[in-house]
Amino acid sequence: MTTERAPSTTQTIPGSVSTRSDRLTITAGALLLAIAALHTLAFAFHPYWGAWLAGPLRTGTDSLHSAVQFWGLPGGFVVPGALLALLIIRLGRRGQTPPAYTGWTLGLWAALCLWIVGPSGFVFVLAPAILLIIASRRARRHLLHVEQGD
């Protein structure tokens, strides 16, 4: 039984898919994963956990402050951020880079959040965003050189 794969939307560096990993991409993913893990660790012992697990957010009887804290902590960036980080790391290990819009979107989101709330942990998201943009440009430049026969 054979399975067919959908075409990849990531940029592949020719000749390096199985022989060389993309270190910038892996580093960017590792940084995102570290941000998610540290965010989880920093807020794991938050005092609202008991109230949240009791269910007042479902019934609307909890305070606005508690609801805001929920969306900033377990309902926020941690789980999707960790999943994105793991996907980025996997691509990097295959010698691929995610599309450039991944880095640009992360960077713009972090910059907007920094503008709204001021100096905060969002500044750390700029590092993986920049690495992803650089990795994407390098992959594109390498692909152009290979296509031109350089």
Q: Is residue 13 part of a domain?
A: no
Query: Residue 33 pLDDT > 90, yes or no?
Result: yes
Q: Indicate whether 4 belongs to any domain.
A: no
Asked if residues 81 and 91 have their Cβ atoms less than 8 Å apart, the reply is: no
Number of domains making up the chain: 1
- Residue 135, pLDDT > 90, answer yes
3-state SS class at 12? strand
Q: What is the mean pLDDT of residues 19-36?
A: 89
User: CA quadruple 18, 22, 28, 34: dihedral positive or negative?
Assistant: positive
Domain, as residue range, for 94: 19-148
pTM of this prediction exceeds 0.85: no
Provide CB contacts within 8 A for 23, sequence distance 6+.
Answer: 92
DSSP type of residue 35: H
CB atoms closer than 10 angstroms to residue 77: 19
1 falls within a domain: no
Evaluate whether residue 10 is within a structural domain: no
**pLDDT classification of 40: cutoffs 50, 70, 90:** confident
Confidence of residue 136 (pLDDT cuts 50, 70, 90): very high
96-126 per-position pLDDT tens digit: 999 999 999 999 999 999 999 899 889 999 9
pLDDT 10s digits, 60-79: 777 777 777 777 777 788 89
Residue 97: inside a domain, yes or no? Answer: yes
Let me know if residue 73 belongs to a domain.
yes
Asked whether residue 142 is assigned to any structural domain, the reply reads: yes
CB of 31 closer than 8 Å to CB of 86: no
Q: Is residue 100 part of a domain?
A: yes
